[in-house]
Amino acid sequence: MKQKGGGIADKFIENLPFELHLLGTVHKEPFQANDSSLVGAKEDSTRRMEFAGPGTKFDIRSARGEKGINLLDNAAYYHDLAYKSKDAATRNKADDALASKAVAFLKLKDLSVLDKLDGHIVEKAMNMIKRST
């Protein structure tokens, strides 16, 4: 029998009454060109990420055109998009992909201490999540 990605942790996160996002460093990237939430944001400023962290209101943020404040947050966008599926295998694949993107993010030059911390938190969190399929 195939288990759906709907364990206790998933249900808890899906029902959070608030978003619990990581703080991150704004990196101007080409994918952010139409992200109105970043208008006026200064390069290398610190602010709350749009997608990295539990409780993201994905449909609302996506409808506003948000894509993430940096490459790690953008990878979390695609992770959250995949999480619209309740299938455990799909969610596991999304978790593995985000862990890999976090490792790649950590290899970028000139990351702030905050960015490095974010990368490690995301990688470890994704590697801790495992569902039966």
**What mean pLDDT is reported for the chain?**
86
Res 112: pLDDT: 94
Residues of the domain holding 102: 8-128
Among the residue ranges 4-8, 31-35, 73-77, 82-86, the one predicted with the least confidence is 4-8
Q: Is residue 133 part of a domain?
A: no
Q: Is residue 63 part of a domain?
A: yes
**Cβ-proximal residues to 106 (8 Å cutoff; 6+ apart), any chain:** 116, 119, 120, 123
Q: Are 56 and 80 in contact (CB under 8 A)?
A: yes
Q: Average pLDDT in the 52-72 region?
A: 93
Q: What is the pLDDT of residue 39?
A: 78
107 compared with 8, residue with greater pLDDT: 107
Provide the whole-model pTM: 0.85
Q: What is the mean pLDDT of residues 55-75?
A: 93
Answer whether residue 96 is part of any domain: yes
Residue-wise pLDDT tens digits, 2-54: 444 456 666 766 777 778 899 999 987 776 767 778 877 888 889 999 999 99
The answer to the question of residue 2 being in a domain is: no
Residue 101 lies in a domain: yes
Does 1 map to a domain? no
Residue type, 63: A
Domain count, the chain: 1
Give the whole-angstrom CA distance, residue 5 versus residue 7.
Answer: 6
